[in-house]
Homo-oligomer: A and B are copies of this chain.
Amino acid sequence: MRFEPVAPVRAYERVVEQIEQAVVSGALKPGERLPSERELMTQFGVGRSTVREALRVLQAAEMIRSRPGDPRGPEVLAASPVALHRSMHRLARADHVGLAELLQFRMILDGSAHLLAAELRTADDLAGLDTALEAMREGVSHGYAEFSRADVAFHEVIARISRNPLLVVSEEVVRGVVLELIEDKLEHASNRTSLMRAWLSHHAEVLDAIRSADGTGAAHLAKQALYDNYAEHVPAGQRPLLTPLLRS
């Protein structure tokens, strides 16, 4: 006979448990309201601070939101990828993850997103990509910031076409962290205009591949472009980590 180690269960944890249960079971639907803190404290039989700590935990998990003064009480939120985004971002900024690993991961995600996009795109999707590309073309003359915004938008459309929220969120997070790590280096790039033109023609190529439903080609273009643009910032010794991905 074996015994399990027991951990003390805090009062606020049991409150969290009950409310969370009510939400995931569907008893409380998004948009509905929780009772006020003072009401909850009598229902649960605990002090207000305990209730508040429980609500803080749920709020950190993006399950509820409370606004001061609202007599209807805290609002139950729909499941959103914001919490996933936060936790992944934290993990990606931890020290064991360097630019090489991030870039590797981004090549994987971006490549797959392009592959799926080429196979699953509809006529509407293609139109969306066309306008995104057009915005980039205009952005070239409106400065780097504008161009960069249009570039991000293009990538987001691609990710969206893949129709996988996990892919969308992960790609977005990794892209953001990569940019955070090398933004200072990009700031000082001297030949920005030629960089933008190169990027633009690359995106046009990608769009062609997607239009002709060439998934493998689009994926390869995407990975190659990432390598070409960012590998210079990766220590030379770690670049062999990236090249295998170009061969698939």
Contacts and interface: CB of A to CB of B under 8 A. Distances in A.
Copies in the complex: 2
A90 to B, nearest CB: 6
B167 A108 contact: yes
Interface string A180-197: 000000000000000000
Number of contact residues on A: which range applies? 35 or more
A105 B52 CA distance: 37
A166 B120 contact: no
A244 interface: yes
Interface string A69-101: 000000000111101101110111111110001
Contacts of A61: 60, 86-87, 90
A241 B117 CA distance: 10
Interface in A5-20: 8, 12
A35 interface: no
A239 to B, nearest CB: 13
Nearest to A88: B84
A102 to B, nearest CB: 7
B164 A101 contact: yes
A247 interface: yes
Contacts of A163: 101, 241
Contacts of A53: 52-53, 56
Nearest to A80: B91
Interface in A198-248: 215-216, 219, 241, 244-245, 247-248
A27 to B, nearest CB: 13
